[in-house]
């Protein structure tokens, strides 16, 4: 990399510019303190000024301030939404200020990255959610609480198993091969863990940066958006406060997968005429394999926190326990969390602190799937004559299955296991010093030290999950470890002079990450109690596959400068420049500098708007910014070798090396540029507020694997090729319908967003890449398949031409060819008739409402989506559960017969392609529209009970919650009864390849659940 000394120059220049303002020589004293609300929570961004002067500061992330004032001065402390206070300084230099809420509050303060700002001064696209809103949806992962609650932020379920993570996309998908995941920043430091590592009860607020003018300050790591998480802190000088949050709940299957019962299956098999009953099957048997498998699950969460303050400092420590037991036997997720923070001032100008988050988690049971349950014939009898379970059942002339029931799986838990044990510790130390002779100037150093380790163990005993009772045992163990350090040096100048507000920040940072992975597998473990702990003792083959071992070392070096200026609370301007250097990219292409600029106009504060009483806030924002992405695997610039064994006679062999991926000495950054226009408004004395955004984002030089012709002898190489585009709008509305009217309060909120994604260009100017499912002019997520138009009926013309050898009742797909002069098709339907079909929805969003009467409150949170395609591997031919031949368990569908010609699904036993009906893949595409209720919560607040006060209890709230109670409307739910949200990646839960992995589908994963919770929040 380049000599880093040259990148200190901007910081030196910034320091020299900061010295220009003169400092006073009058006698003064320094006052410091903390500003809190009625709940003892720190207030970020409160204005603290010396009365009658322009001398002032704003409180930091912990609500603290430090200010030099004249002796005998009076401090004016104000914050939008709270009543302004005036406090004479007199002889006190340590102040604790409690601001009371103002019922006419119209604004808030948001975290913007390396600082805070009043929402009225923000010029970029930032969405904020308070911790109380997040806790309205109890969950292990806070992303579940954010689903469909923030416009432009799509959080999709990737699995319904306990402990599964969400897929998060902010304003669409940009990259083809690089990551599209946003950056998570925890208490100011980029976070290397996942959201499941953070206890939701620890979160005070979340701020999501969506446009490039906001994210540019985080450089290449913020290319896909940034999620800023601020956790709870203690209160300086406050007595210790103990809080407890806990809930317990029951989990029940939302809806069983819609499989045929014994009677329907026997009738369909006979009609198809392809398979006969086996010795274990009988038409009078009706086995519900799902009933034999499922159990009731439970979920429980408990966290305790103690916080308070010392003279000039504060602290907060807590621990949490969470357990989620799934409805499939042995599936569960357990997490233990510890968190601590302290912040201490030393003297007038120096302070230091530490924040630490550590967790240990265990995930079990991912080896237990449902395909082996759903695929078994419902007319197969699992019991012997004496009532004991059979080991296996045969369910046609060629298939046999291992019997899987709840009791079988639970009894085999120690002999058939899959478990992942993870430990992570994420630590942030800081030190900050204020310049005593220059008002508003301070230096801060952040040091992040992070470690994460995961151990994945698998063991299958002799004959388990196998039709052969003597099948050998197998075991495997994978271990991965990540270490990371990051250091940030920040110099900030913050000053208000009359109507002018300045905030200037400069930063230099560096970080390094080391990742290692190892894997070993073995057969014939000598004793089952060894499980996966001593694979070296395996009596069979021990496999150490080099492809499953890895070592990566990466670094990132950056410098950044940002300036914010506000004049008279009317005109705002923000400019950012950042330069990053990534070790992942080629020499000579590692550095990139990108700018961002945004401006705002508080129109309501203009004199010509004074007569409009019903309009409280009206602000126009516009921003432009550039970001980049370097999130590809390290060493892609160097190419890759692979190994291949060569035999020389019966005993001699050698290992050869060959080039599997070409190097690229020109590999550089993937670039994105974004225009964003926003309008913020508040009406009717704060009763109605909202935001409208429109954006256009263009990405070029995509990081993409380019396939090479087979004659080259090399499969591919990584290059900068291709372009994508995202554009769309977002609307957020918040309203207060009733405001303490005879004890009644009623609030409602709505968010709506629509994103249009388009692939603009591919490598070599090709218009399509069918292997990866990419097509120029269409969204990145598009399918390429035949288009279902119905079923062939008796008397339909051209069946013999379009479908030679076809039959009445088979699937009819769209024909795109030409016609002869007499109107007959010129050819049969073939691959050229496949269509490109977008999966993208028209729009999506959420609606929530809260009704309160005195101490009672009712919260209802709903989500909706309009349009797009939902993929179901249950119905798609890749799932082998919609074969309509009677070979295996069959989805309960309305199929064609001579007496039921208006059916949607084809005739059983008709023409096939492989083992499925011809064009059977078209049966897996559904309208993705839905409107569902996510959560209903009824709570009772007992804060004002006298007997509780006498016991020293400051607050107590009890609540009951129903999660995922019902679907209001959905075409998919109407036909299947299933939850219309995805639960699998595209290559999961399939018998043969069907979809790209990046596609999210409804598959035979753990079924969706309906949860019933009871919880309390206690503070004393």
- Which residues contact residue 395 at a Cβ distance below 8 angstroms, ignoring those fewer than 6 apart? 278, 280, 281, 376, 377, 379, 380, 401, 888
> What average pLDDT does range 526-546 have in this prediction?
92
Placement of tokens 């350090």 in the chain: 485
Highest average pLDDT, of 194-208, 279-293, 950-964, comes from: 279-293
Q: Is 984 helix (H, G, I), strand (E, B) or coil?
A: strand
Residue 199 in contact with residue 221, Cβ under 8 Å? no
What does R_g of the chain's alpha carbons equal in angstroms? Answer: 31
Residue 555 in contact with residue 585, Cβ under 8 Å? no
Distance in angstroms (rounded) separating the CA atoms of residues 196 and 194: 5
- Per residue in 543-569, pLDDT (tens digit) is 998 889 999 999 999 999 999 999 988
Q: Is 689 helix (H, G, I), strand (E, B) or coil?
A: strand
Q: What is the pTM of this model?
A: 0.86
pLDDT confidence of residue 107: 52
Task: Count other C-beta atoms under 10 Å from residue 985's C-beta.
Answer: 20
> What average pLDDT does range 964-983 have in this prediction?
96
Task: Count other C-beta atoms under 10 Å from residue 679's C-beta.
Answer: 15
Answer with the residue of higher pLDDT: 845 or 650: 845
Highest average pLDDT, of 227-241, 505-519, 713-727, comes from: 505-519
Residue 332 in contact with residue 338, Cβ under 8 Å? no
Q: How confident is the model at residue 27 (pLDDT cuts 50, 70, 90)?
A: low
Distance in angstroms (rounded) separating the CA atoms of residues 760 and 776: 5
- Per residue in 150-191, pLDDT (tens digit) is 999 999 999 889 988 899 999 999 888 888 999 999 888 888
Distance in angstroms (rounded) separating the CA atoms of residues 850 and 853: 10
Nearest to 602 by CA among 575, 563, 576, 573: 573
Residue 273 in contact with residue 909, Cβ under 8 Å? yes
pLDDT confidence of residue 24: 39
pLDDT confidence of residue 39: 66
User: How is the chain split into domains, by residue range?
Assistant: 28-98, 425-500+507-559, 854-873+924-1019
Q: Is 554 helix (H, G, I), strand (E, B) or coil?
A: strand
pLDDT confidence of residue 19: 42
Nearest to 830 by CA among 843, 813, 808, 847: 813
Structural tokens at position 62: 């912990």
Range in 484-498, 645-659, 737-751, 801-815 the model is least confident about: 645-659
Q: If 0-12 CB within 10 Å is exposed, 13-18 middle and 19+ buried, where does residue 824 land?
A: exposed
By percentage, how much of the chain surpasses pLDDT 90? 60
Q: If 0-12 CB within 10 Å is exposed, 13-18 middle and 19+ buried, where does residue 1019 land?
A: middle
Is residue 200's pLDDT more than 60?
yes
Q: Given CA atoms 828, 831, 836, 837 in this order, what sign does their dihedral have? A: positive
Nearest to 294 by CA among 1012, 936, 1016, 1006: 1006
> What average pLDDT does range 582-590 have in this prediction?
87
Nearest to 860 by CA among 870, 872, 869, 847: 847
Q: How confident is the model at residue 80 (pLDDT cuts 50, 70, 90)?
A: low
Residue 777 in contact with residue 725, Cβ under 8 Å? no
| Alpha-carbon dihedral angle through residues 628, 634, 637, 641, given to the nearest 10 degrees | -150
Answer with the residue of higher pLDDT: 705 or 569: 569
> First CA to last CA across the chain, in angstroms?
54
Distance in angstroms (rounded) separating the CA atoms of residues 218 and 190: 9
Determine the Cα angle at 50 with ends 46 and 51, to 5°: 105
Distance in angstroms (rounded) separating the CA atoms of residues 750 and 862: 10
Nearest to 364 by CA among 459, 293, 296: 459
Is residue 360's pLDDT more than 70?
yes
Q: If 0-12 CB within 10 Å is exposed, 13-18 middle and 19+ buried, where does residue 345 land?
A: buried
pLDDT confidence of residue 9: 46
Is residue 2's pLDDT more than 60?
no
Quote the mean pLDDT of the chain. Answer: 89
> What average pLDDT does range 43-53 have in this prediction?
83
- Per residue in 608-620, pLDDT (tens digit) is 998 898 999 999 9
- Per residue in 400-438, pLDDT (tens digit) is 999 999 999 999 999 999 999 999 999 999 999 999 888
Q: Which CATH superfamily is domain 28-98 in?
A: Carboxypeptidase-like, regulatory domain (2.60.40.1120)
Range in 419-428, 874-883, 981-990 the model is least confident about: 981-990
pLDDT confidence of residue 928: 96
| Residues in the chain, overall count | 1020
Distance in angstroms (rounded) separating the CA atoms of residues 19 and 21: 6
Residue 324 in contact with residue 339, Cβ under 8 Å? no
Residue 265 in contact with residue 883, Cβ under 8 Å? no
pLDDT confidence of residue 914: 87
Spell out the SS3 assignment of 761-799.
ECHHHCCEECCCCEECCCCCCEEEECCEEEECCCCCCCH
pLDDT confidence of residue 81: 64
- Per residue in 895-953, pLDDT (tens digit) is 999 999 999 999 999 999 989 999 999 999 999 999 999 999 999 998 777 787 777 78
Q: Is 199 helix (H, G, I), strand (E, B) or coil?
A: coil
């Amino acid at each position: 990399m380049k000599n880093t000394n040259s990148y200190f120059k901007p910081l030196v220049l910034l320091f020299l510019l900061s010295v220009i303002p003169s400092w006073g020589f009058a006698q003064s004293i320094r006052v410091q303190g903390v500003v809190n609300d009625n709940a003892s929570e720190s207030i970020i961004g409160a204005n603290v000024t010396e009365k009658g002067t322009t001398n002032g500061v704003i409180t930091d992330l912990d609500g603290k301030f430090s200010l030099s004032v004249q002796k005998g001065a009076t401090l004016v402390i104000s914050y939008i939404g709270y009543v302004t206070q005036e406090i004479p300084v007199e002889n006190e230099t340590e102040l604790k200020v409690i601001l009371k809420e103002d019922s006419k509050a119209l604004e808030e303060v948001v975290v913007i990255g390396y600082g805070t700002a009043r929402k009225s001064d923000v010029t970029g696209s930032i969405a904020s959610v308070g911790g109380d809103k997040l806790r309205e949806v109890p969950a292990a992962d806070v992303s579940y609480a954010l689903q469909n609650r923030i416009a432009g932020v799509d959080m999709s379920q990737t699995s319904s198993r306990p402990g599964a993570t969400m897929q998060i996309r902010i304003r669409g998908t940009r990259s083809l091969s690089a990551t599209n995941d946003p950056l998570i920043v925890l208490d100011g430091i980029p976070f290397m863990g996942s959201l499941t590592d953070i206890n939701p009860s620890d979160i005070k607020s979340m701020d999501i940066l969506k446009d490039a003018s906001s994210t540019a300050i985080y450089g290449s790591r913020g290319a896909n958006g940034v999620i800023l998480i601020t956790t709870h802190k203690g209160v300086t000088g406050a007595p210790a406060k103990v809080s407890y949050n806990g809930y317990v709940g029951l989990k029940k299957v939302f809806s069983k997968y819609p499989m045929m019962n014994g009677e329907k299956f026997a009738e369909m098999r006979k009609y198809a005429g392809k398979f006969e009953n086996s010795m274990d099957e009988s038409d009078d048997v009706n086995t519900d394999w799902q009933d034999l498998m499922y159990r009731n699950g439970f979920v429980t969460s408990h966290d305790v926190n103690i916080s308070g303050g010392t003279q000039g400092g504060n602290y907060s420590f807590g621990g949490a326990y969470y357990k989620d037991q799934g409805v499939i036997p042995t599936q569960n997720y357990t997490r233990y969390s510890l968190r601590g923070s302290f912040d201490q001032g030393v003297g007038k100008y120096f302070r230091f602190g530490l924040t630490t988050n550590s967790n240990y988690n265990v995930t079990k049971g991912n080896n237990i799937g449902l395909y082996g349950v759903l695929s078994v014939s419902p007319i197969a009898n699992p019991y012997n004559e004496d009532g004991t379970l059979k080991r296996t059942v045969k369910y046609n002339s060629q298939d046999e299955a291992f019997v899987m029931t709840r009791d079988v799986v639970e009894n085999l838990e120690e002999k058939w296991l899959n478990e992942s044990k993870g430990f992570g510790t994420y630590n942030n130390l800081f030190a900050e010093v204020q310049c005593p002779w220059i008002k508003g100037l301070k230096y801060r150093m952040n040091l992040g030290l992070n470690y994460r380790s995961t151990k994945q163990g698998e063991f299958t005993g002799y004959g388990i999950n196998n039709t052969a009772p003597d099948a050998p045992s197998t075991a495997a163990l994978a271990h991965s470890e990540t270490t990371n350090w990051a250091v940030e040096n920040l110099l900030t100048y913050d000053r208000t002079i009359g109507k002018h507000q300045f905030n200037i920040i400069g930063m230099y940072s560096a970080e390094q990450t080391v990742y290692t992975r190892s894997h070993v597998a073995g057969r014939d473990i000598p004793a089952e109690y060894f499980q996966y702990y001593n694979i070296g003792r395996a009596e069979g083959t021990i496999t150490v596959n080099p492809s499953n071992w890895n070592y990566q070392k990466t670094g990132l070096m950056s410098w950044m400068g940002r300036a914010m200026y506000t004049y008279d609370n009317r005109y705002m301007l923000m400019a950012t420049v950042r330069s990053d250097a990534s070790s992942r990219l080629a020499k000579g292409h590692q550095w990139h500098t990108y700018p961002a600029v945004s401006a705002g106009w508080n129109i309501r504060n203009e004199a010509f708007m004074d007569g409009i009483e019903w309009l409280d806030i009206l602000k126009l924002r516009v921003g432009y910014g550039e970001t980049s992405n370097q999130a590809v695997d390290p060493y892609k610039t160097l190419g890759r070798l692979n190994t291949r064994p060569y035999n020389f006679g019966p005993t001699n062999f050698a290992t050869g090396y060959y080039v599997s991926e070409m190097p690229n000495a020109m590999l550089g950054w993937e670039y994105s540029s974004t225009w964003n226009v926003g309008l913020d408004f508040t009406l009717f004395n704060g009763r109605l507020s909202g935001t409208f955004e429109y954006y256009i984002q263009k990405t070029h030089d995509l990081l993409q694997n380019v396939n090479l012709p087979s004659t080259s002898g090399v499969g591919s190489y990584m290059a900068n090729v291709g372009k994508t585009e995202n554009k769309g709008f977002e609307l957020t509305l918040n309203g207060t319908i009733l405001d303490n009217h005879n004890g009644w309060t009623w609030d409602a909120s709505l968010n709506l967003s629509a994103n249009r994604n388009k692939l603009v260009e591919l490598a070599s100017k090709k218009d399509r890449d069918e292997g990866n499912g990419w097509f120029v002019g269409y969204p990145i997520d598009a399918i390429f398949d035949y288009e279902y138009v119905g079923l062939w009926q008796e008397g339909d013309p051209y069946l013999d031409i379009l479908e030679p050898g076809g039959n009445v009742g088979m699937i009819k797909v769209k024909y795109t060819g030409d016609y002869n002069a007499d109107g007959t098709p010129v050819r049969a339907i073939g691959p050229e008739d496949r269509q490109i079909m977008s999966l993208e929805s028209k729009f999506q969003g959420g609606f929530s409402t809260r009704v309160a009467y005195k101490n009672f409150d009712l919260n209802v949170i709903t989500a909706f989506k309009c349009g797009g395609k939902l993929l179901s591997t249950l119905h798609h031919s890749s799932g082998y559960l919609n074969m309509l031949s009677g070979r295996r368990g069959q989805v309960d569908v309305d199929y064609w017969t001579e007496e039921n010609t208006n059916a949607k699904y084809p005739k059983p036993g008709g023409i096939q392609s492989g083992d499925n009906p011809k064009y059977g893949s078209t049966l897996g595409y559904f309208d993705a529209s839905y409107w569902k209720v996510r959560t209903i919560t009824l709570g009772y607040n007992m804060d004002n009970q006298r007997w509780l006060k006498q016991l020293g209890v400051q607050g107590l709230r009890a609540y009951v919650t129903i999660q995922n109670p019902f679907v209001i409307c959905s075409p998919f739910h109407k036909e299947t009864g299933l939850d219309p949200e995805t639960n699998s990646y595209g290559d999961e839960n399939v018998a043969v390849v069907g979809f790209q992995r990046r596609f999210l589908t409804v598959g035979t994963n753990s079924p969706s659940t309906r949860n019933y919770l009871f919880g309390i929040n206690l503070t004393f």
